[in-house]
């Protein structure tokens, strides 16, 4: 095991290239759109309306963004809770992506809040409403962001040679790790519970009392899917060796959790008698099958062991899972949301271009941040000298 | 190794418990749908009495200081197409075929009032993370406090009636909705929509009394004449309820300090009602009740079950987070396991260093 256990090291190399430049431009556009939003209001840049008060800034930036940031949680569970030490090299890169995903989701919420200057009320006991699912989600995500920065801080301590700080942190690391598994369990499930109070407005294909469990299971699967996706992209972009010896068994773990998810998902639909709705000739039924096929695709792509050793197929399977996660959340919050409860109230929603540019800008920050930190801080496992040099130039 | 296996078992047990608690919500633990408070206030809207004059829409705008909203090219009249952050009350029209007969489902037309229903168990109140939307424990009015609001619009998404609305055109937008003119109560005024209604189609009162009045109307013979109150419903037991007779001065609840006004009851023809008081049972009941001759769904009122969505949502939350028992139990198990495994991990790391 020790042989596989490379200490993390900075990738190095130039920070100015086509990718970082494109990211920079996208981020600049986002800042411009946000300036308009904060001066003139949400209506000036978004297509939000009273029939669809939540758009992609909530559903994509926060709900999907945080699910995509579950890599750190999923891998940490595997390494520290299920004691699979061999996956240790995956922890830091996954944690970094999670850190960015969650921090941006937290910041993204502010863009969407109509009265953002009151945001601190969430943490004020005189205002807090513990019955509110949103309250639980907001507090949990905020706490998790803090925990993750602490969990990740050894990377900074190593870079700046802060040996003492690292030692001190290491003493309580086990507790941070425990918190880092419980907090995401709490809010990833609650992100699903958010739709319960919307009651009959949500199509029964998604409206269920076990939606917290479905969201939690899918978030764990998405976590592994994102690690597959990220590892493939990072190794191809930095021309590094791909960690197939880790990704192959990881993919197997992912398929296992995915199978549990599928069984629970369909078991629930059958028990509640909601399955016939999937065979209606409407958009909700179509959206349901697109979502379901994305979740089933990994079994076809990497179902056998030899396919799991194929980087391209691992990448495809990871992408399919991420798409499934995207569709599941968009379906539950937007496609399956009938604001008039069967009465056509004339509302509809599709994101505006400026609205899209903010979401795209958020992902650009994530990519740019990942590049800067992996090139300058010890995150990715150290490579053999020859390969590392070729990556740097 | 056997130790570690035990820890693993512990984890599996803990997560198993969490899963079981999510999957098997028991009736005993479930949060029941809340009922209206005994002194709940509300409105009774009788679509068969409504003539569509929209005096209530204008009065609502005036007393709430809301600007006109235009949907026509000549910005002359207040013509909102739906309630909004600046239109809290609206009369909508149902049209069918030739529109010959009032209150006929086929070839007819009908009116319907759209405004806050003041639910017994409101989704918006349950949804609001910062208690900006609250239900008055005495009169049951669903009240909004802009100073507390963070503008997340979860209330907008949660309401099945599409009532709380946000002002998207402002950088400091607020939620707008009917609060039964609570800001006018201290001056002896009740809801402006009921105050100005010329036909008594919108009637203000205690919901229990309004429900009795609604049931009285449903028992009348369609086409016959009957007396209908206007403005505010003043049942005979009002004085008793206000604590003057049997309250022996102990009940200081100042519920009815309404301004004196003459009895405005009048005779009208009894409508061809559907035998359904909308709001009696929907989502656990609402404080605004409605009568109609055209099926409620056709005039824009959703078909809702008797259990409130807020009860389902809070059942889940209380089950998972009640007293924070479950989170701490799982955290305890995770801490225990992580402590062992992290040590093991560090040991490996130091081993690795020695090898080098």
pLDDT tens-digit series, residues A105-130:
999 999 999 999 999 999 999 999 99
A105, with CB counted inside 10 A (0-12, 13-18, 19+), is buried
Out of A18-27, B8-17, B95-104, B264-273, pick the least confident: B8-17
Residue B126, CA atoms < 13 Å, CB-side half-sphere: 30
Q: Give the distance from residue A14's alpha carbon to the nearest chain B alpha carbon, in angstroms.
A: 30
For residue A188, which residues of chain B lie inside 8 Å, CB to CB?
none
Name the CA dihedral angle for A15, A16, A20, A26, rounded to a multiple of 10 degrees. Answer: 130
pLDDT of residue B239: 52
pLDDT at B50 over 60: yes
pLDDT at A224 over 80: yes
Joined together, the tokens standing for residue B82 give 């739906």
CA angle A172, A176, A182 (to 5 degrees): 145
Joined together, the tokens standing for residue A127 give 């205002």
Q: Which of A44, A178, A340 sits opposite B331 (nearest CB)?
A: A178
Label residue B251 by pLDDT band (50, 70, 90).
very low
pLDDT of residue A30: 97
Residue B236 CB partners (closer than 8 Å, separation 6+): none
Please state, in angstroms and rounded to a whole number, the distance separating the CA atoms of residues B206 and A277: 42
Label residue B87 by pLDDT band (50, 70, 90).
very high
Helices marked H in chain B: 2-23, 55-63, 123-127, 154-158, 182-185, 192-196, 207-219, 238-241, 309-321, 325-355
- For B188-214, write each residue's pLDDT tens digit: 899 999 999 999 999 999 999 999 999
The arrangement of secondary structure in B41-306, i.e. its CATH architecture, is: 2-Layer Sandwich (3.30)
Out of A92-101, A188-197, B181-190, pick the least confident: A92-101
Q: Which of A5, A82, A196 sits opposite B348 (nearest CB)?
A: A5
Please tell me whether residue B290 adopts helix, strand or coil conformation: strand
Q: Give the distance from residue B156's alpha carbon to the nearest chain A alpha carbon, in angstroms.
A: 6
pLDDT at B21 over 60: no
Highest mean pLDDT among A149-163, A377-391, B220-234: B220-234
For residue A263, which residues of chain B lie inside 8 Å, CB to CB?
none
Interface of B with A in 266-285 (CB under 8 A): 283
Neighbours of A161 (CB within 10 A): 9
pLDDT of residue B255: 53
Out of A25-39, A217-231, B133-147, B232-246, pick the least confident: B232-246
pLDDT at B354 over 60: no
Out of A52-56, A155-159, A331-335, pick the least confident: A155-159
Out of A60-64, A357-361, B99-103, B241-245, pick the least confident: B241-245
pLDDT at B4 over 90: no
Domain that includes residue A343, residue range: 2-392
DSSP string, B130-191: TS-EEE-TTT--EEE-TTT-----HHHHH-TT---EE-TTSTT--EE---TTHHHHTTT---
Domain boundaries, chain B: 2-32+314-355, 41-306
Interface of B with A in 116-145 (CB under 8 A): 123, 126-132
Label residue B53 by pLDDT band (50, 70, 90).
very high
pLDDT of residue A94: 87
Joined together, the tokens standing for residue A72 give 């750190």
A14, with CB counted inside 10 A (0-12, 13-18, 19+), is exposed
pLDDT of residue A308: 92
Terminal alpha carbon distance of chain B: 27
Mean pLDDT of A210-231: 94
Q: Give the distance from residue B128's alpha carbon to the nearest chain A alpha carbon, in angstroms.
A: 6
Test A118 with B160 for CB contact under 8 angstroms. Answer: no
Mean pLDDT of A58-71: 92
The rounded percent of chain B whose pLDDT value lies above 90 is 68
Cβ-based contacts under 8 A for chains A and B: 253
Nearest chain A residue (CA) to B30: A209
Nearest chain A residue (CA) to B14: A182
Please state, in angstroms and rounded to a whole number, the distance separating the CA atoms of residues B197 and B45: 10
pLDDT of residue A353: 97
Nearest chain B residue (CA) to A271: B23
pLDDT of residue A123: 94
Out of A133-137, B3-7, B54-58, pick the least confident: B3-7
Q: Mean pLDDT score of chain A, rounded to an integer?
A: 90
For residue B94, which residues of chain A lie inside 8 Å, CB to CB?
none
Test B166 with A196 for CB contact under 8 angstroms. Answer: no
For residue B168, which residues of chain A lie inside 8 Å, CB to CB?
41-43, 46, 48-49, 114
Q: Please name which of A59, A127, A17 lies closest in space to residue B146, comparing C-alpha atoms.
A: A127
pLDDT of residue A4: 44
Test B131 with A193 for CB contact under 8 angstroms. Answer: no
Q: Please name which of B118, B269, B113 lies closest in space to residue B197, comparing C-alpha atoms.
A: B113
Output the pTM of the full model: 0.88
Which of B162, B176, B333 to probe the A interface (max A CBs under 10 A)? B162
pLDDT at A376 over 80: yes
The rounded percent of chain A whose pLDDT value lies above 70 is 96
Interface of B with A in 17-56 (CB under 8 A): 18-19, 22-23, 25
For residue B8, which residues of chain A lie inside 8 Å, CB to CB?
82-83
Label residue B9 by pLDDT band (50, 70, 90).
low
Phi, psi of A65 (to 5 degrees): -55, -45
Which of A80, A89, A199 to probe the B interface (max B CBs under 10 A)? A199
Mean pLDDT of A46-68: 93
- The better pLDDT of the pair B243, A15 is held by A15
Domain total in chain A: 1
Q: Give the distance from residue B337's alpha carbon to the nearest chain A alpha carbon, in angstroms.
A: 6
Residue A242, CA atoms < 13 Å, CB-side half-sphere: 22
Please state, in angstroms and rounded to a whole number, the distance separating the CA atoms of residues B276 and A129: 35
Q: Give the distance from residue B309's alpha carbon to the nearest chain A alpha carbon, in angstroms.
A: 5
Please state, in angstroms and rounded to a whole number, the distance separating the CA atoms of residues A98 and A92: 10
Length of chain A: 393
Test A181 with B348 for CB contact under 8 angstroms. Answer: no
Q: Mean pLDDT score of chain B, rounded to an integer?
A: 85
Please tell me whether residue B226 adopts helix, strand or coil conformation: strand
């Amino acid at each position: 095991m020790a042989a596989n256990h490379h200490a993390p090291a900075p990738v190095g190399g130039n920070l100015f290239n086509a990718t970082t430049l494109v990211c920079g431009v996208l981020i600049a556009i986002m800042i411009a759109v946000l300036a308009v939003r904060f001066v003139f209001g949400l209506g000036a840049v978004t297509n939000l309306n009273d029939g669809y008060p939540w758009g992609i800034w909530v559903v994509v930036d926060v709900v999907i963004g945080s699910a995509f940031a579950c890599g750190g949680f999923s891998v940490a569970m595997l390494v520290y809770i299920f004691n699979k030490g061999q996956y240790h090299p995956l922890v830091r890169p996954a944690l970094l992506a999670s850190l960015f995903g969650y921090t941006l989701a937290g910041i993204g919420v502010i863009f969407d809040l109509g009265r953002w200057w009151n945001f601190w009320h969430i943490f004020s006991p005189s205002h807090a409403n513990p019955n509110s699912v949103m309250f639980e989600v907001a507090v949990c995500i905020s706490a998790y962001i803090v925990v993750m920065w602490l969990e990740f801080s050894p990377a900074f301590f190593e870079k700046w040679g802060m040996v003492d700080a690292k030692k001190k942190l290491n003493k309580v690391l086990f507790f941070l790790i425990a918190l880092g598994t419980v907090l995401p369990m709490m809010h990833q499930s609650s992100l699903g519970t958010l739709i319960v109070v919307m009651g009959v407005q949500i199509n029964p294909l998604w409206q269920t009392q076990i939606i917290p469990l479905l969201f939690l299971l899918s978030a764990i699967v998405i976590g592994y899917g994102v690690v597959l996706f990220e590892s493939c992209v990072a190794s191809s972009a930095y021309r590094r060796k791909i960690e197939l010896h880790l990704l192959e068994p990881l993919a197997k773990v992912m398929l296992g959790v995915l199978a549990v998810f599928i069984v629970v998902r369909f078991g629930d639909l059958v028990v509640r008698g909601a399955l016939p709705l999937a065979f209606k000739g409407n958009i909700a039924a179509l959206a349901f099958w697109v979502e379901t096929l994305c979740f089933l695709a990994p079994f076809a792509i990497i179902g056998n062991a030899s396919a799991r050793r194929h980087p391209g197929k691992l990448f495809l399977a990871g992408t399919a899972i991420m798409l499934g996660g995207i569709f599941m959340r968009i379906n539950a919050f937007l496609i399956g949301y009938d604001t008039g409860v069967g009465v056509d109230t004339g509302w509809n929603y599709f994101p505006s271009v400026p609205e899209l540019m903010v979401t795209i800008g958020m992902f650009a920050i994530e990519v740019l941040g990942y590049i800067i930190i992996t090139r300058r801080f010890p995150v990715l496992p150290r490579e053999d000298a020859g390969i590392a040099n070729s990556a740097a130039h | 190794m056997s130790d570690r296996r035990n820890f693993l078992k512990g984890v599996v047990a803990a997560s198993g418990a969490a899963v079981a608690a999510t999957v098997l919500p028991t009736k005993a633990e479930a949060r029941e749908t809340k009922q209206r408070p005994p002194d709940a206030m509300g409105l009774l809207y009788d679509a068969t009495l409504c003539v569509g004059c929209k005096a209530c829409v204008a009065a609502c705008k005036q007393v709430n200081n809301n600007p006109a909203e235009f949907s026509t090219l000549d910005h002359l009249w207040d013509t909102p197409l739906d309630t909004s952050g600046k239109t809290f009350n609206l009369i909508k029209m149902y049209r069918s075929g030739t529109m010959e007969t009032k209150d006929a489902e086929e070839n007819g037309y009908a009116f319907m009032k759209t405004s806050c229903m003041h639910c017994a168990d409101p989704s918006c109140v349950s949804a609001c993370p910062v208690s900006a939307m609250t239900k008055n424990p005495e009169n049951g009015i669903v009240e909004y406090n802009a100073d507390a609001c963070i503008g997340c619009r979860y209330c907008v998404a949660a309401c099945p009636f599409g009532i709380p609305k946000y002002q998207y055109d402002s950088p400091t937008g607020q939620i707008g909705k009917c609060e039964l003119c609570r800001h006018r109560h201290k001056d002896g005024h009740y809801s402006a929509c009921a105050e100005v209604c010329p036909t008594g189609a919108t009637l203000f009162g205690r919901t229990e009394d309004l429900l009795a009045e609604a049931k009285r109307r449903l028992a009348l013979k369609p086409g016959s004449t009957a007396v209908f109150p206007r403005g505010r419903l003043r049942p005979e037991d009002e004085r008793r309820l206000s604590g003057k007779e049997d309250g022996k001065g102990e009940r200081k609840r100042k519920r009815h300090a309404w301004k004196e006004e003459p009895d405005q009851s009048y005779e009208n023809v009894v409508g061809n009602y559907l035998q359904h008081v909308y709001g009696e049972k929907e989502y656990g009941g609402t404080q605004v009740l409605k009568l109609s001759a055209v099926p409620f769904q056709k005039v824009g009122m959703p078909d809702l079950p008797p259990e409130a969505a807020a009860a389902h949502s809070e059942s889940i939350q209380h089950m998972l987070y009640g007293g924070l028992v479950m989170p701490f139990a799982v955290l305890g198990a995770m801490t225990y396991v992580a402590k062992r495994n992290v040590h093991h991990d560090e040991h490996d790391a130091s081993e690795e260093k020695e090898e080098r």
